[in-house]
Structure 1
Amino acid sequence: MAAAAAAEEDGDGDGCCLRPFSCEQGLLSRPDGSAAFVQGETSVLAGLYGPGEVKGSRELPDQAALEVLLRPKVGLPGVAERSREQLIRRTCEAVLLGALHPRTAVTLVLQVLSDAGSLLSCCLNAACLGLLDAGLPLASLFCGVTCALRPDGRLLLDPTARQEQEARAVLTFAIDSADSRVLAATAKGSCSAEELQQCLAAAQRAAAAIFRFYRDSLRRKYSKW
């Protein structure tokens, strides 16, 4: 991988941290942009096609039509993949300056290579780097952060698959780089309003580390030219 980052403390005193992550852009030749993102043992490959010709009734007169396709490691996409596709699409639409490319189509294909927990946040991170590699105009960057609440109330960042299974609640936030605004969120399980705010605050702090990794990764990529 072109760049890697060690896990960082989230600063809340609970010992929560991000797993090591790495990325590589421009892996694929056919898409207009591509990126692989790895978080711990979870990895996702993103391919970005467009802006290009719109087929059928998908054409939008004032902006680009965005389609997101999430392919599992094995088998066909199911309900879980469709739900994640919608959240990723909403997140991308919130930052993509689609009005600059009206009557065109943009397709984002995400291939799950391995799922060892925090899959949705890994997909979001791969999607952002794929958009960047394609050179599409963005209002800001975004990243995904997953939090898990253990039965004892302890907060875990970037949980593994086993930690997600044992958790009382699992929350994933899509956060933008401009002002740490939440672009989209999803939750499974139950938590109090106070716990929700604690998870959000931890996710926003973790997002700052991911955005630093984005910048360092891009700096290293373009410094080779």
Structure 2
Amino acid sequence: MTPSACDKSAFSTMEVCGSLTVSLREFGCEQSLLSRPDGSASFVQGDTSVMAGVYGPAEVKVSKEIYDRATLEVLVQPKVGLPSVRERSQEQCVRETCEASLLLTLHPRSSLTLILQVLHDDGSLLSCCLNAACMALMDAGLPMSCLFCGVTCAISTDGQIITDPTAAQEKESRALMTFAIDSAKHSVLMSSTKGSFSVHEVSGLMTGKKECAPFQTNKTVNAKPKRPDVTNRLH
């Protein structure tokens, strides 16, 4: 097990543009935790934790084959029970983000599978899934145009902006937003919003989104040799 260099102290705080106070829970990740996937990683944000496994490029079914790029499938597995509408929505958000950063045209007529296992959910789950996905894609050595990270913000009933909210803070908030941030251009690859909010509040979040990122890098990730033990699924 090789710990990633993105561990951080609990509840670090910074000031963004003099108006938005950013407070992040303790976070960290480890890569290459599993032997069967091509790449794997766990990511922890406070008490929220997700395990990710990447398989491929591998042979794809003819019905799912795309002639000019790889097919990407994302599966989110809840801690208990079967996937619901919530997990399907999270899968779409993660898939759109990964498709925007991966160089899928380098592997036409093949398949990539990303499995995200929720270990514990104490808020900011979608951003934790995004961060775990990025770390697993890096570990798999898949070619990417940029890295990305997930940032979740909540807006309380009195208008206070809370970064990396807990489950209790999410429940009491009137709006919840998650962004996937491009590490190269610091642009938004994906956004997911819930609740009511004003244009001014969104503008404030967009100003501070980069500072909320758990990790930032401008390097392009190059492929590494494929490992042989990749035929089995993540359990």
**Aligned counterpart, 1:8:** 12
Matched, 1:123 2:129: yes
Distance 2:201 2:207 in 1: 10
The residue type paired with residue 68 of structure 2 is D
Contact 2:20 2:204 in 1 (8 A): no
Matched, 1:57 2:63: yes
Matched, 1:211 2:212: no
Unaligned ranges ≥5, structure 2: 220-235
CA RMSD of aligned residues (A): 1.6
Matched, 1:169 2:170: no
Contact 2:96 2:190 in 1 (8 A): yes
Distance 1:204-1:168 versus aligned 2 partners, 3 A rule: same
> How far is the alpha carbon of 1:168 from its aligned partner?
1.0
> How far is the alpha carbon of 1:62 from its aligned partner?
0.4
SS for the counterpart of 1:107 is strand
SS for the counterpart of 1:11 is strand
SS for the counterpart of 1:147 is strand
Tell me which of 141, 144, 147 is aligned to 1:141: 147
The residue type paired with residue 8 of structure 2 is A
Distance 1:110 1:165 in 2: 23
> How far is the alpha carbon of 1:2 from its aligned partner?
2.0
Deviates more, 1:53-62 or 1:5-14: 5-14
Distance 2:216 2:121 in 1: 22
**Aligned counterpart, 1:29:** 35
CA deviation map 1:118-146 (0-9, x unaligned): 00000000000000000000000001000
Distance 1:111 1:25 in 2: 15
The residue type paired with residue 8 of structure 1 is S
**Aligned counterpart, 1:151:** 157
Distance 2:82 2:62 in 1: 24
> How far is the alpha carbon of 1:210 from its aligned partner?
1.9
Contact 1:10 1:206 in 2 (8 A): no
**Aligned counterpart, 2:120:** 114
Query: What is the percent sequence identity of the aligned residues?
Result: 56
Matched, 1:66 2:72: yes
- Structure 1 consecutive aligned stretches of length 4 or more whose deviation exceeds 4 Å: none
The residue type paired with residue 131 of structure 2 is N
- TM-score (norm. length: structure 1): 0.91
Distance 2:149 2:202 in 1: 18
CA deviation map 1:52-77 (0-9, x unaligned): 00023111100000000000000000
> How far is the alpha carbon of 1:211 from its aligned partner?
1.7
SS for the counterpart of 2:13 is coil
Choose between structure 1 and 2: higher helix proportion.
1
SS for the counterpart of 2:12 is coil
> How far is the alpha carbon of 1:48 from its aligned partner?
0.1
Distance 2:205 2:129 in 1: 19
The residue type paired with residue 15 of structure 2 is G
> How far is the alpha carbon of 1:14 from its aligned partner?
4.3
- TM-score (norm. length: structure 2): 0.87
Contact 1:157 1:203 in 2 (8 A): no
Distance 2:124 2:175 in 1: 13
CA deviation map 1:139-165 (0-9, x unaligned): 000010000001111111000000000
Work out the number of aligned pairs and report it: 213
Contact 1:173 1:200 in 2 (8 A): no
